[in-house]
Copies of this chain bind each other. A is one copy, B any other.
């Protein structure tokens, strides 16, 4: 039975895994889950699909696996991921893992908190955004972006060296997210901007396909400003 992939392209790690599956030509059956319609919050979803009620996750026959980074490593063992993307060399793999672990409390956490309070919570509740929280988490995003510009990309073209890896896919899918709120974190950070353009170029057309909905929302936001 073909691998089942549960995802919502509005979620950053969902896009990252979607791109990874596609560019490695891993066959999978699409199971989109609409988070904005709370499709993940039903009892049936919890008991039959994923007890943690999040996306992305996979069903590989009767084996259920959640957590995008655990899934990357499972896919690399079971289905194969190009060595350039997730290197078998122990030290190089360790450096890719280092970013994939670091991002949880940096890129992932802060961008998720910022976009939740700026965009998704107001959208779903009808309440005005809590401006104190929005500005607190935006400062967090700015600090994290400075770390990517000045530490991770300081002496190299990509996050973990001069070749694009899984780390760049996860980082880019996160850094696209705030554009939905009209905030593009690459602006004013020359290394980050050059890197983002390189990532998009190397991963297209799959990258653009995964970001179609996000790009539309970002464009509507721009129009609303005119």
Contacting residues, chain B, for A78 (C-beta < 8 A): 90
Are A52 and B151 also in contact (CB < 8 A) when A67-B102, A101-B69, A105-B104 are? yes
Are A98 and B67 also in contact (CB < 8 A) when A78-B90, A90-B74 are? yes
Contacting residues, chain B, for A90 (C-beta < 8 A): 74, 77-78
Indicate which residue in B52, B63, B69, B109 contacts A97 across the interface (CB closer than 8 Å).
B69
Indicate which residue in B67, B70, B101, B151 contacts A67 across the interface (CB closer than 8 Å).
B101
**A65 within 8 A of partner (CB):** yes
Instruction: State the CA gap A68–B73 with chains docked (Å).
Output: 17
Contacting residues, chain B, for A71 (C-beta < 8 A): 94
Q: What is the minimal beta-carbon distance from A150 to any residue of chain B, in angstroms?
A: 9
Question: Taking each of A52, A94, A105, which has the highest tally of chain B beta carbons within 10 Å of its own beta carbon?
Answer: A94
**A51 within 8 A of partner (CB):** yes
Counting chain A residues whose Cβ lies within 8 A of the other chain, the interface size class is 20 to 34
**A91 within 8 A of partner (CB):** yes
Contacting residues, chain B, for A101 (C-beta < 8 A): 67-70, 104
Q: What is the minimal beta-carbon distance from A4 to any residue of chain B, in angstroms?
A: 15
Number of copies: 2
Q: Which of A66-106 contact B (CB under 8 A)?
A: 66-71, 73-74, 77-78, 90-91, 93-95, 97-98, 100-102, 104-105
Q: CB-nearest residue of chain B relative to A96?
A: B70
Using CB atoms and an 8 Å cutoff, list the residues of chain A in contact with chain B: 51-52, 63, 65-71, 73-74, 77-78, 90-91, 93-95, 97-98, 100-102, 104-105, 109, 151
List, sorted by A's number, 14 A–B pairs whose CB atoms are closer than 8 Å: A52-B151, A63-B91, A65-B98, A66-B102, A67-B97, A67-B102, A71-B94, A73-B93, A73-B94, A74-B91, A74-B97, A77-B90, A104-B104, A105-B109
